[in-house]
Amino acid sequence: MNITLKVWRQKGPSSVGAMETHQMTEVSGDMSFLEMMDVLNDRLVREGKEPFAFDHDCREGICGTCSMFINGEAHGPGRNVTTCQLHMRSFKDGETIHVEPWRSAAFPIIKDLTVDRSSFDRIIQAGGYVSVNTSGATQDANSIPIPKHDADEAFDSATCIGCGACVATCKNSSAMLFVSAKVSQLSLLPQGKAESNERVLRMVDQMDLEGFGNCTNTGACEVECPKGISLTNIARMNREFLSSNLTSK
């Protein structure tokens, strides 16, 4: 198939970017979107031109590194897939595809399609952990009885790979889906519950400091999330933040 690509080109964080057009011929429908980008970059290198910088790592949908805004959607068309799991057969022959970086004040562009998502790391550092001594004398996790339903719900929240699609797709660049999933995966389990009050306050504080927008409950994040993280996480965080604030000393 033949594809017209319009890809965001931006030299550096403070440069002005613009879309750059490239014609792709003989694209196989079995290629992943990233493999198609590899072919383009390979051609650009052989022509002595600058390849496009883009993030990728595991290429099997679990690391959360790939991050393209394709044809107006985070990770492109299709549901519950990351860009690396997106195949070219999802597009029509002769189609024009727009490829842009995640756009958010809290995710500054480094170059072309790569953005700095360390704001997510700082939110995790603020409270997204359980303070346990890992000296080797830790208790066997299975010795704490946990209802199956709670374990499943915590696991569903923990499947968030922190890719940032929620922020990218939210019209307000809100990080609520990510932060609430990380709050929930711990507060739903006994090991995390002990610190849940303090955790939610710290993580929301950090989220605000990073310059993400506010949630207006459009629900776009849940639809575009490659892991199908549910909006119930956001409601849980709203609840926890309110009660933690009201009961904190």
Q: How far apart are the first and last CA of the chain?
A: 63
Q: Please tell me whether residue 103 binds another protein under the rule CB under 8 A.
A: yes
Cβ at position 153, least distance to another protein in Å: 11
Of the pair 58, 130, the CB lying nearest another protein is at 130
Q: Please tell me whether residue 216 binds another protein under the rule CB under 8 A.
A: yes
Which residues, numbered 128-167, are part of the site for another protein (CB under 8 A)? none
Give whole-number Cα distances, 241 to 104, 137, 154, 210, 238, in Å: 24, 33, 18, 18, 5
Nearest to 39 by CA among 75, 71, 7, 69: 7
Answer yes or no: are the C-beta atoms of 46 and 57 closer than 8 Å: no
Instruction: Rule CB under 8 A: choose which of 45, 105, 130, 144 binds another protein.
Output: 105
If 0-12 CB within 10 Å is exposed, 13-18 middle and 19+ buried, where does residue 132 land? exposed
Sketch the per residue contact string, 79 through 98, with another protein: x for CB under 8 A, - otherwise. Answer: -------------------x
Q: Crossing angle of helices 196-209/118-127, nearest 10°? A: 150
Cβ at position 165, least distance to another protein in Å: 11
10 Å Cβ neighbour count for 186? 23
Cβ at position 249, least distance to another protein in Å: 5
- Binding residues (CB under 8 A) for another protein: these are 6, 8, 17, 19, 69, 71-73, 98, 100, 103-106, 169, 171-174, 197-198, 201-202, 204-205, 207-209, 211-220, 223-224, 231-232, 234-242, 244-245, 248-249
